[in-house]
Chain A
Amino acid sequence: MKKAFRNDAHAKVTGQAIYTDDLKLHDMLHAVPIYSELPRAKLIFLDTSAALKLPGVIAVITAKDIPGNIYYGQIIKDYPVLVDKDINSTGDVLALVVAKTREQAIAAVPSIKIELQPLKPILDPEEAMNPEADILHPSHVSNLTNYHRVRRGDVTSAEKEADIIIEEEFSTSRVEHSYLEPESAICHLRCDGVMEVFGSMQHPFSTRRFVASTLGVELKDVEVKLLTSGGGFGGKDDTAALVCARAALCAWILKKPVKITYTREWSMRESYKRHPYKMRYRMGLNKEGKILSVKARIVADGGAYCSVTPWVTWRSTVQSCGCYEVPNVETDVYGVYTNNIFSGAMRGFGSPQINFAVEQLVEIAAEKLGIDEITFRQINMVKQGSTTITGQVLENHLVSLNQVLDTVLKESDYKNKRQLCSFGNPNHQEWYGIGLAICYRGVSLGAEGTDVNSAILYVQPDGSVLLETGVFENGQGSESAMILIAAEQLGLPLERIRYRMPSTSNIPDGGSTVASRGTIMGGGAVVKAANILKQIVGEAVQKYTGKTVSNFENSQLLDPSGVLIMSWDEAIKLCYNNQIYPYAFGVFQPPQISWDEETGQGNAYYTWVYGCQAAELKVDPKTGIVKLLNMIAAHDIGKAVNPFALKGQYYGGMAMGAGYALFENCPCENGLVVPTNFNKYRLPRSIDLPEMKAIFIENPDPVSPSGAKGIGEPANELMAPAIANAIYYATGKRYHSLPIRIKI
């Protein structure tokens, strides 16, 4: 059989992989956080004297000990690493207790006396948007973290021409990433004065910025090293970075190594979540089945701190009408500060919410028009050369939405099975339903940030290769994908290539490993570096043998007629013997995007991916319990680099989507996250999930040097609406909010 490839599999299956909490440094201290009990308050007084007398307690660190900036943030610097005066969330950390053991530090927490002056919290985004409301962050002009919009055509005129207009509201829940490894960091001040940080995070460079800001030092003075990461899903950015910054602060002050490992309770209380959305849509249609207009108002609860809310909601803005051609659009998207736990990046990044609404909305529209839901989609979905709602013409890549849709229709036998759906038939013992959803997704960051990545290929004198890129392993298998791409490019076996331990001091910042950009951006850089390396080696061989190298295959260098010139190892020896380093630095700069914030028009993303997912399920008419029967997905991923890992992304994405649809919910009560651990937060378990099918559609993308695009997020953004549609065909009822609770 074909086997999977992962460079870390052996270590992980034997228990040898070192996650941050598995590491100990000599004379290491342990720090734990103290949280605010109130969602909004002034910190009046904090008495540490009793705690300092307890066994093992070394120090209690507060904001006044911070040598650098108290506040930091990725976009707006609004997050206090430790609270100095203003409390905005029950996830705010007021102080850190440092002790010889973690148990001693935890035991000291109740001895810290805290006096807070309560302020009335704002817990509803609509209330926060009221001009009369208190401004939660006085340095910010309003309670909006951002406002994005799309203006295209003329909605008012289009609605006059429309044969029907539908209006629907949808809402989605706050959900927790639920990486199984809680946040953990170990920091120590190295003898050269560098603060060395070991941790598990989405993006070591983002962590470095948080740490340097807190310590008041330059970026060169902090080195962040990524250890084995026990999952991220977008969730190990701000909070993981804050944990590192706090451990670094303690290590800086106490001149000893300090570890902070979160309990699940602290992680769930403090870490950011997926944004809950409220979405109001009005769609104008003609009786031929064309969408004439969409007017949308979308409000995202950003919670207490900005984090990346402006970027998350920007993607929602660009993709606010789903994958459909709509000539007249008015979309208004608001990111709002409240005193709930803050919201941030999570796999999907503003698209799962939109797709939950739009992929039901189109089916509601189709039914009103008396057109079947597939034909309606086929009439309106983007095709080759279509113009998106932001004015981007889809022409630089193959628009394969029809291909992914047709594949799922065929593989799931959708049209036949759709005829069997129960529609809440009282004569049925159990209600059967099938549903699907389609999407497109802008690849990588778009206007969220500068998009560039780099790779280093450094061949050692024995011909073995060290590889590093600006993408980071969160468990998805990015290092393995990079090794596979390098091996193919250089014509070497996998075992000749090793991925260097990632460090912020080795390679330039290539942006966060988010937005499903790892494979396309890192892989692109690997291809560029490999081309440079082959040129260096080829020129050396040409110079000293007079022979032209045209191919690198099977560890050999071949001339244009396929004749062996010399082996790879001999060529590398030749380089070293002649003062030539076989070392290459490759940079991938994708095409620039464009964006006009005023009109919401521009080429928002440099390329797009297309996907379709379907689910079959049964509903028990007595209990309302949903039983998933199977799930299927087809995505155009450009090119499959590592098929087993790719399937893993499909399956994990569908499973997380099913959790979003049916189980997961993280409400806040008076600002406090209600579920404290996995006993109160229902993740999909093996028995909740059905067998799944993953179908690769491979249309190599001309923009991607490796041909590959991305899958992490596309796989996660469709299952909730597919299940919602299947539930409709099973029960005859539409559910407009997540998670879906069937009412009998």
Chain B
Amino acid sequence: MITVNGINYYDYDPERKLSLWLREDLSLTGTKIGCDIGVCGSCTILINGEPKLSCRLKVKDVENCNIITIEGVALPDGTLHPIQQAFIDAGAIQCGFCTPGMVLTAYALLKKNPHPTRQQVRQAIRGNLCRCTGYQQIIDAIMLAAERLDLKQP
């Protein structure tokens, strides 16, 4: 069994590349293929909360795992996660191709470290290439998300 965005899957080809399984078979096309060799970060997904590169894995590698793709980050009613909203509000989006991977990497970071410094954010997203933004507004967005998530905590 594999759980993707809360849905359990039982029938799959274990030898299939994970990125293709998500994109082609489950139509979760928010996971992007930029390099297909595990250096650009566009295909980042969360496996049991850890950011991993889906182009470097096979379906059998994630059996009994809980996967979150970009489609699983917002609430079921469509409300955006504070990280997603912060990416919009801070102007962190240009072409958008790196965005799903960046959001998921940020999601994992803020779960582990809710109060990162800008330098820690830089370190966390070093595996995610972005050609448009120079990363500045992506870092702004993650810092803003941390601030907002902090305010939400009781």
Contacts and interface: CB of A to CB of B under 8 A. Distances in A.
Interface of A: 1, 3-4, 6, 8-19, 21-22, 177-182, 228-233, 263-264, 474-477, 644-645, 647-648, 651-656, 677-679, 683-687, 689, 691-692
A475 B91 contact: no
A533 B138 CA distance: 39
B136 A691 contact: yes
Q: Which of A10, A19, A180 has the most CB of B within 10 A?
A: A180
Given A13-B103, A264-B37, 5 more contacts: A22-B23, A231-B131, A475-B97, A645-B94, A686-B135
Contact of A3 (B89, B134, B136): B89
A8 B139 CA distance: 20
A17 B71 CA distance: 11
Nearest to B124: A686
A4 B97 contact: no
B88 A692 contact: no
B39 A228 contact: no
A9 B88 contact: yes
A233 B131 contact: yes
Most B CB contacts (10 A, CB to CB) among A9, A15, A229 go to A15
A16 B30 contact: yes
B151 interface: no
Contact of B137 (A10, A11, A651): A651
B32 A19 contact: yes
B89 A652 contact: no
B126 A685 contact: yes
A228 B94 CA distance: 11
Contacts of A16: 30, 71
Contacts of A679: 35, 37, 39
Interface residues of B, number: 54
Most chain B C-beta atoms within 10 Å of own C-beta, residue among A13, A21, A230, A233:
A13
B8 interface: no
Given A9-B87, A648-B91, A263 B32 contact: no
22 contacts: A1-B89, A3-B89, A6-B88, A8-B93, A12-B99, A13-B93, A13-B96, A16-B30, A179-B97, A180-B129, A181-B34, A228-B96, A231-B95, A264-B35, A475-B96, A647-B137, A651-B136, A652-B94, A678-B37, A685-B127, A689-B134, A689-B135
Given A180-B131, A181-B95, A687 B122 contact: yes
Nearest to A261: B33
A713 to B, nearest CB: 14
B36 A686 contact: no
A228 B23 CA distance: 17
B70 interface: yes
Contacts of A1: 89
B96 A686 contact: no
Contact of B133 (A182, A233, A648): A648
| Most chain A CB neighbours (cut-off 10 Å) among B29, B88, B94, B139 | B94
Contact of A231 (B29, B37, B73, B132): B132
* Secondary structure class of chain A's binding surface, majority of residues: loop
Contacts, number: 175
Contacts of A18: 29
A94 to B, nearest CB: 23
Given A4-B90, A231-B131, A180 B126 contact: no
B4 interface: no
Contact of A6 (B28, B93, B122, B136): B93
Contacts of B137: 644, 647-648, 651
A17 B126 contact: no
B27 to A, nearest CB: 8
B133 A652 contact: yes
A228 B99 CA distance: 13
A18 B32 CA distance: 11
A654 B136 CA distance: 11
B134 A652 contact: yes
B42 A180 contact: yes
Contacts of A474: 95
Contacts of A476: 94, 132
Nearest to B34: A180
B96 A17 contact: yes
Interface in B88-135: 88-91, 93-100, 103, 118, 121-123, 125-135
A15 B70 contact: yes
Contact of B131 (A179, A229, A654): A179
A8 to B, nearest CB: 7
A677 B37 contact: yes
A180 B91 CA distance: 18
Nearest to B69: A15
A687 B132 contact: no
Contacts of A655: 133-135
Nearest to B97: A230
A178 B100 CA distance: 18
B110 to A, nearest CB: 15
B80 interface: yes
A644 B100 CA distance: 20
B129 A678 contact: yes
Given A15-B69, A178-B131, A655-B134, A8 B91 contact: no
Contacts of B28: 15
Contact of A230 (B96, B122, B128, B138): B96
